[in-house]
Every structure is written in structure tokens, then in C-alpha cells.
Amino acid sequence: MKKILVVSAHPSAGDIGAGGLMSRYSDDGDKVYLLIMSRGEAGIPDIPPEDLASIREKEQREAAKILGVSEVFFLGLKDTEIFDTLEARLMVVDVIRRLKPDIVVTHSEVDTHPDHKSTAYITFAAAMYSSLPTVKSKSNLPPHLVKAVYTYGLPGYTPTFIPEIYLDISEFFERKCKALCCYETTMKHLGWSRERWIETWLSLDKVYGVSSGVRYAEGFRQFWSSHLGRRAVNRLAW
């Protein structure tokens, strides 16, 4: 059984970028966890932040249940105030050491949203730090080595993101649509129909599907460094 941790800055972002992946792995019997850096309390000016935070957390938990996520965690950082600090990195290290994921999936470093970009770099560092005995965090848990880190793109935020891996999610696309429809508060605020909401946020799934010979796909890139990621292989695989 594998363990997968998906990390996103706000509610809904991880579902958009990797909802099909979460569904596929959960259906395979693997453990899928979702870590949200903030509760998205700054997104709708007409709703008081604390009220909106509760609403968006509830919507995220409902969506995660549809996708088969085992557990959802909120890190407690403030929306629009997610910065790549040592404190934030160590908070994610604690989560990684507790859950012991094999794979971590997060935002792309080319994402133009400041919170998304910070979340990417926080996660990259935490995935590395979590394996180092010299890095101490509040939980004081033993080190854990993450085997691979992948990134996802988002419509409107990652125009330069080019996937190197495509995951066929055709059989899970309707489930992903159902999960995305949980975010009724933002849909209502924008004045969008469900059709427009799905068409916008899942537009890349169709593009990536066309690019990879299937109906719908999610696209990912592998993050790597000399410490974490790609290693030499004995033979090419196809």
C-alpha cells in the first residue's frame, strides 16, 4: 500500500490539479492525504474571514470525501500570507514525518499565484528536510524519506507549465466534477453556473487528454535535486 500526500495552498486547488490522481490511488487501496496550507478565508470580501474559513473547510472536506481522501489536514497559515519560512517548512516536515508518504504532490514552482509558489517551495524543502536527522521539528518524530515529489499546473496560474507525465483520469473525471461542485460559495460569488465552473477549472484535463491520447488526463512534473528525485537507471522503460 502506497501513501500519497497532496499539498495545496487553499481549498479546491489540490482537487483541480490532482483530484483524478487522488481518486485513482484511493480506488487502488492506497492511502491518500490532503494538506491545505490555509483555509482560504480571504477569497470573498463580502463574507467575514472566520465565517468563510469555516465554509471553505467544510466544502473541502466534502469534496475530499468524494475523491476518496483518507484524511484532510489544515496547516493553519493565513490566506495571502503564506511565505517560505523556516517555521512553515518545519510545520510541513512534522506532517510528512507523521504520515510517512511515499509520494508528495504539490503546486508548481512556475505558478504565478504568490501563495501557490510559496507552497511549492515550502513543500520542496520540507520533503528534503524530513529525511535529515539533523533537522529537528516540534513533533520530534524520526526522519522519513519521501521517494518522489511531483508538481501540478492550474488553469490561469501556470501558463508555462509543461507536463512530462500524463495520468489518465478518464474513468474518474465525473467523480472529479462532482467534487469540484462542492465549492458552491465561490461559484455563487462569481455568478458562475456549474457548467462554467467545471469548464474553467477542468479545462486542462481535456487538453492534457488530447496531448496524451486519452479523453481526460492530469499533467505532472517531477521535482528533483541531487538529494531528492531522479536517479540513474539500468535500462530505459516504455
Looking at residue 93, what is its pLDDT? 98
Class of domain 3-223: alpha beta
Cβ–Cβ under 8 Å, residues 33 and 69: yes
Query: With the CA atoms of 123, 127, 132 and 135 taken in that order, what torsion angle do they form, in degrees rounded to the nearest 10?
Result: 20
Cβ-in-10-Å burial (0-12, 13-18, 19+) of 102 comes to: middle
- Print pLDDT tens along the chain (238 aa): 999 999 999 999 999 999 999 999 999 999 999 999 999 999 899 999 999 999 999 999 999 999 999 999 999 999 999 999 999 999 999 999 999 999 999 999 999 999 999 999 999 999 999 999 999 999 999 999 999 999 999 999 999 999 999 999 999 999 999 999 999 999 999 999 999 999 999 999 999 999 999 999 999 999 976 566 566 666 766 6
Those residues with Cβ within 8 angstroms of residue 163's Cβ, 6 or more apart along the chain or in another chain: 153, 208, 211, 219, 220, 221
Query: With the CA atoms of 61, 110, 200 and 20 taken in that order, what torsion angle do they form, in degrees rounded to the nearest 10?
Result: -50
Using alpha carbons, list the distances in angstroms from residue 65 to 51, 58, 60, 100, 186: 22, 11, 9, 21, 19
C-alpha grid cell, residue 10:
487553499
- Among 28, 37, 41, 106, residue whose Cα is nearest residue 70: 28
Domain boundaries, the chain: 3-223
DSSP-assigned letter for residue 206? H
Strand, coil or helix: 201: helix
